[in-house]
Structure 1
Amino acid sequence: MANHKSALKRHRQSLKRRARNRISKTRIKNTVKAVRIAIEENDAAKAQEALKDASSILDRAARKKIIHQRQAQRRISRLQAAVNKIAA
């Protein structure tokens, strides 16, 4: 454990940020899972709605640097391709 006042503060900040990031990453996983479940059920309307939510959450996480911008774009792109495939 740190002894200096500034190091103690950095540790407190890192714990807060870790908790915030874990919440966001869990939310990402759950929304992506909802899209995949809708795709497996061949429900195009439900998949499109879930994709809209997932892309919003992924973009927000990328904007806040929780995940990398390119990773968010790649995930959205792959989900969109899968949704388009069942819609066709």
Structure 2
Amino acid sequence: MANHVSSLKRARQTEKRTAVNRANRSRVRTSLRSLREALTKGDAKAAQEQYRETVSTLDKSVQKGVFHKNTVSRYKARLNARVKALATA
């Protein structure tokens, strides 16, 4: 455990930051899970609506530094392809 005042402060800051990052990551995972469930159910309208919410959540996660922008771009592209495939089917 830290002994110096500055290292104690850093430990406190790290705990707070970790909690924020964990909450943001959890929010993204929940949104992705909801979208994947909508896709497996086969409801195109619900999947489209959930896709919009998921994209918003993913974009916010990039701003907050949870994910890299290229990772999110890849997620969005793959999810959009699945939503489109469901809509045309």
TM-score in terms of structure 2 length: 0.94
Aligned to 2:23: 23
What's 1:3 paired with?
3
Gaps of at least 5 residues in structure 1 are none
- In the aligned structure 2, how far is the partner of 1:84 from the partner of 1:70? 21
Question: Partner letter of residue 64 of structure 2?
Answer: K
Q: For residues 23-46 of structure 1, what are the alpha-carbon distances to aligned partners after superposition, in whole Å with 9 as ceiling and x for unaligned?
A: 111111111111111111111110
Partners of 2:74 and 2:15 lie apart in 1 by 29
Aligned residues: 88
Provide the identity percentage: 39
Residue equivalent to 2:52: 52
Q: Which runs of 5+ in 2 are unaligned?
A: none
Q: Report deviation, 1:73.
A: 1.1
CA root-mean-square deviation: 0.8
- For 2:69 and 2:4, the matched residues in 1 are separated by 35
Q: Which residue of 2 aligns with 1:13?
A: 13
